[in-house]
Amino acid sequence: MNNFHHYKLITATTATIICLITACYAVKQELAAAEVEVATANSEYQAHLGHIEKSWHETPDAVGLLTILIEEAQIAQAHAGYAITDVEDYDNIRLHIPHVRHAISSNTEPGGPGKGFGVERAAQGVADHMDYARNTSDATDSVKVHAEHVIASAQNIVAWSNKIIRMSDQLMGGAGPVWVSYYAKEVAKRTDWILNGNDANGDGKISWAEGEGGLAQIRQHLGFIEREG
């Protein structure tokens, strides 16, 4: 009989301990979830970085603004290259320059091989969301420092895009043969700048500064933010 009561006591004690452990684990899980929720809610700047690097609802397939910028820039560069394979083949130039225009700004050229979003729009979106990120209440020092560099480079891309459209307007608008070749080469040069930047001051380096930074510099400084937090 004593053994039976002893067994019941051990069983009840064990059950109580198991319940306490289970309850403690549940509380711990709830606290961890709450911490994650608070951290996420407080990461305002991360939301805007996410629009640049991960997803933005206005882009094709809702890809990030950086992704569509890269894709459109590569299409523009490819077709600018096709245009100048022979700078005296004016029909070929006039065939491919509209394809460049479509990738740069689909508003100016409704049909073509681009994604329908455009380099110019994507670059402006990167600049805008980087500006939003640096002005959030929880923006880190790294975000504030490198935002300037990303924005400057994105604005360079917008300026080069506008120049490409203006030059291609001249090219497609009845310019003489010499000018058609000249504008085609200048367009191709700027599509390369968009992707890789431009050594504007001739110092052998490409920085994020006005007239220099392009997509390569945007990616570099976004990488700094990712590493530094």
Q: What are the boundaries of each domain within the chain?
A: 1-42, 44-228
Q: How far is CA 61 from the centre of its chain?
A: 14
Tens digits of pLDDT across the chain (229 residues): 455 454 444 455 554 555 455 544 444 455 444 444 444 445 899 999 999 999 999 999 999 999 999 999 999 999 999 999 999 999 999 999 999 999 999 999 989 999 999 999 999 999 999 999 999 999 999 999 999 999 999 999 999 999 999 999 999 998 899 999 999 999 999 999 999 999 999 999 999 999 999 999 999 999 999 998 6
> In a 3-state reduction of DSSP, which class is residue 163?
helix
How far, in Å, CA of 40 to CA of 44, rounded? 8
pLDDT of residue 22: 53
> In a 3-state reduction of DSSP, which class is residue 209?
coil
